[in-house]
Chain A
Amino acid sequence: QQQVRQSPQSLTVWEGETTILNCSYEDSTFDYFPWYRQFPGKSPALLIAISLVSNKKEDGRFTIFFNKREKKLSLHITDSQPGDSATYFCAASRAGNTRKLIFGLGTTLQVQP
């Protein structure tokens, strides 16, 4: 059973549009939610993260919106660029001594010029 779910599986948008990537979870013990971006053949790298204390986190063109009640997050990419084409992973972690990240299946984004 997937602990972190992402949708859509893949997405194509035009340059300049706003991209919305969705993520949901069920385990209420999760308290930290980073998004990682992976370019083909490369390693995942942290893009932006949010914790339970926030409803929104913004970093340039990237914004996380967090609905804690529904256990849903979304990553918005404004003014999408061809260079944003990559796979985006939503991840979750819980406090404790194991400190592991649990990743979703990812959303592959293609931005067309």
Chain B
Amino acid sequence: GPKVLQIPSHQIIDMGQMVTLNCDPVSNHLYFYWYKQILGQQMEFLVNFYNGKVMEKSKLFKDQFSVERPDGSYFTLKIQPTALEDSAVYFCASSSTGGNTGQLYFGEGSKLTVL
């Protein structure tokens, strides 16, 4: 089936450093999402992105977070500076039609450990 690729699969950084998580969505998909999952528990919505713009972001999407997809390349989540509570698995997802009518395809996740 369609694949969403995430790089890196695991990143360990010191608190205060910057990290960029990369997502290669399914080609021709138009909607992009980031979700945060801690300890295999709830998938918490962070942000969604369409047509080059953030459509909605949750309370978890702090000022230190930013997303972009320059020139149709990777969809990135940047955290600067990182905090201990940012340790989690971050899942990228993409969809051709959006979450309320179409399937979200998730990547394998990027596990972020902030020390």
Contact = CB atoms under 8 A, between A and B. Distances in A.
Interface of A: 31-32, 34, 36, 38, 40, 42-46, 49, 87, 89, 91, 93-106
B27 to A, nearest CB: 18
B45 A87 contact: no
A45 B100 contact: no
Interface range, B side: 20 to 34
- 7 closest A-B pairs by beta carbon, nearest first, are A99-B98, A93-B100, A43-B106, A103-B43, A98-B56, A101-B99, A93-B99
Interface in B75-112: 91, 95, 98-101, 103-104, 106-109
Contact of A99 (B40, B42, B48, B91): B48
Contacts of A105: 41-42
8 contacts: A32-B100, A36-B43, A93-B100, A98-B55, A99-B99, A99-B100, A100-B99, A105-B41
B95 to A, nearest CB: 7
B106 A45 contact: yes
Contacts of A103: 35, 42-45
A87 B42 contact: no
Contacts of B99: 32, 91, 93, 99-101
B55 A99 contact: yes
B31 to A, nearest CB: 6
Contacts of A96: 100
B43 A100 contact: no
A106 B42 contact: yes
A31 B100 contact: yes
Contacts of B103: 34, 46, 49
- Of A46, A49, A105, which is in contact with the most chain B CB atoms at under 10 Å from its CB? A46
